[in-house]
Structure 1
Amino acid sequence: MKTITFYSYKGGVGRSLALSNMAIKLSQLGKKVCLIDFDIEAPGLQYKFSNDYKYEPVAGNKGLVDHIYKFSNEGVLNDSIQCIVGHLVPKNRNYAVIDIISAGDFENDDDYWKKLSVMKWSEMFYSAKPKGTQFFLDLKAKIQKEIKPDYLLIDSRTGITDIAGITLKLLADKVVILAVNNEENKFGTKKVVNALLKADNHEAKIHFVLTRLPYPDSPLEKAEESDLVKKWRDQFNLGLNSAFITFSSIYSDRGLQKDESLKINITKGSERITLDYQKLFSTIFDETLNVENEDSTIKIIKEADELYEKSLTEEDKSKKLKLLTDAIEIYDKKPEYYFERGLIYLNIDDFKSALKDFEKSYEQQPDDDFTKYYLAIVNGKLERYDKALEYLNDPFRFPQFYHIKSTILILNKQYDEALNIINTGLDLYPDEDYLLNVRAELYRIIGEYKKGFEDIYKAIEIAPNTGIYFATLAELNLLNGEASDFYLNLNLALSKGVTEKDIKNAKDVYEKVRTDQKFIDLLERYQLQQSKIFEE
Structure 2
Amino acid sequence: MKTFTFYSYKGGVGRTLALVNVANRLVEFGKKVCILDFDLEAPGLQSKYAKELQQPIYKGLVDYIYSYAVENVQPRHISDYMVDIHLTNAINTIHLCAAGDVDSSDYWKKLARINWWNLFYAENSYGIDFFLNLKKQIEEELAPDFLLIDSRTGITEMSAITMSLLADDVVFLAANNEENIKGCCKVLNSLSAPENNLLGIKRTYHFVLTRIPLPDSPDEKVKHNIIVEQKTNIIKECLAKNGITLESANVIHSDRCLEENELCNTSYIYEVSKTSSVKEYMALYDSLVKNYFLEEDRVTFDNYKQLQLEVDKLLRYYRGNDSHFMEQAELLVKSYPQFSYGYSFISNYYFDRFEFEKALEYAQKATATLGPDLLPIQLKEIHLNLLLGNYQRSENLLNKIYDKDNEFTEFLKVKIDHMMFHNEEHDIKAITKLIKAHPDNVKYRNEEARIWNFYKKYASALEAIYETLEIDSESAMAYITLAEIKYRMNDKLDFYRNIELALKYNYDLRWVKYDEMFYIYKECLEDERFLAILDKYDVRHIISFWLS
Q: What interval of TM-score do these two structures reach, taking the shorter chain for normalisation?
A: 0.5 to 0.7
Question: Per-residue CA shift, 1:406-453, capped at 9, x if unaligned?
Answer: 333444462534333212212333332212212222222232222211
Which residue matches 2:411? Answer: 403
Q: Quick check: 1:5–1:174 contact (8 Å CA) kept in 2?
A: no
Which residue matches 1:420? Answer: 429
Secondary structure of residue in 2 paired with 1:392: helix
- Is 2:533 the counterpart of 1:525? no
- Is 2:429 the counterpart of 1:432? no
- Is 2:432 the counterpart of 1:387? no
Q: How does 1:166-185 map to 2 (within 5 A)?
A: 172-175=206-209, 177=211
* Displacement of 1:377: 0.6
Q: How does 1:119-518 map to 2 (within 5 A)?
A: 132-137=187-192, 172-175=206-209, 177=211, 197=227, 200-202=230-232, 204-208=249-253, 210=255, 275=269, 284-285=281-282, 288=286, 295-308=295-308, 310-312=310-312, 314-315=315-316, 316-317=318-319, 329=334, 332-334=337-339, 342-359=347-364, 362-363=367-368, 370-393=376-399, 395-412=403-420, 414-416=422-424, 417-504=426-513, 505=515, 506-518=517-529
Q: Distance in 1 between matches of 2:481 and 2:146?
A: 50
* Displacement of 1:374: 2.2
Secondary structure of residue in 1 paired with 2:230: coil
Amino acid paired to 2:20: S
* Displacement of 1:309: 5.1
Q: Distance in 2 between matches of 1:176 and 1:133?
A: 18
- Is 2:531 the counterpart of 1:534? no
* Displacement of 1:461: 0.8
Q: Distance in 1 between matches of 2:22 and 2:366?
A: 22
Q: Quick check: 2:7–2:159 contact (8 Å CA) kept in 1?
A: no
Q: Distance in 1 between matches of 2:456 and 2:134?
A: 62
* Displacement of 1:467: 1.0
15-24 vs 479-488, which moves further: 15-24
Q: Distance in 2 between matches of 1:177 and 1:136?
A: 25
Unpaired segments ≥5 residues, structure 2: 46-59, 62-80, 85-92, 98-115, 122-127, 165-180, 214-222, 234-248
Secondary structure of residue in 2 paired with 1:304: helix
Amino acid paired to 2:352: N
Q: Distance in 1 between matches of 2:158 and 2:5?
A: 27
14-23 vs 467-476, which moves further: 14-23
Q: 1:97 aligns with which of 131, 135, 145?
A: 145
* Displacement of 1:456: 0.8
Question: Per-residue CA shift, 1:150-179, capped at 9, x if unaligned?
Answer: xx7xxxxxxxxxxxxxxxxxx545456599
Q: Distance in 1 between matches of 2:383 and 2:212?
A: 41
* Displacement of 1:489: 1.5
Secondary structure of residue in 1 paired with 2:252: strand
Q: Distance in 1 between matches of 2:414 and 2:391?
A: 11
- What is the number of equivalent residue pairs in this alignment? 410
Q: TM-score, normalised by structure 1?
A: 0.58
Q: Quick check: 1:196–1:202 contact (8 Å CA) kept in 2?
A: no
* Displacement of 1:466: 1.2
* Displacement of 1:97: 0.9
* Displacement of 1:455: 0.9
Q: TM-score, normalised by structure 2?
A: 0.57
Q: 1:30 to 1:521 in 2, by over 3 A?
A: closer
Amino acid paired to 1:535: L
Q: Quick check: 1:426–1:435 contact (8 Å CA) kept in 2?
A: yes
Q: Quick check: 1:6–1:177 contact (8 Å CA) kept in 2?
A: no
Unpaired segments ≥5 residues, structure 1: 57-64, 71-77, 105-110, 120-124, 153-170, 180-192, 211-227, 230-247, 254-261, 266-273
Q: Distance in 2 between matches of 1:36 and 1:397?
A: 19
Q: 1:27 to 1:472 in 2, by over 3 A?
A: closer
Q: Distance in 1 between matches of 2:445 and 2:359?
A: 28
Percent of pairs identical after alignment? 17
Q: Distance in 1 between matches of 2:363 and 2:265?
A: 20
Amino acid paired to 1:285: M
Question: Per-residue CA shift, 1:279-328, capped at 9, x if unaligned?
Answer: 6776533694999x982541342232332255257244466766666555
Secondary structure of residue in 2 paired with 1:207: strand
Question: Per-residue CA shift, 1:33-63, capped at 9, x if unaligned?
Answer: 998978575468697974245689xxxxxxx
Q: Quick check: 2:250–2:280 contact (8 Å CA) kept in 1?
A: no
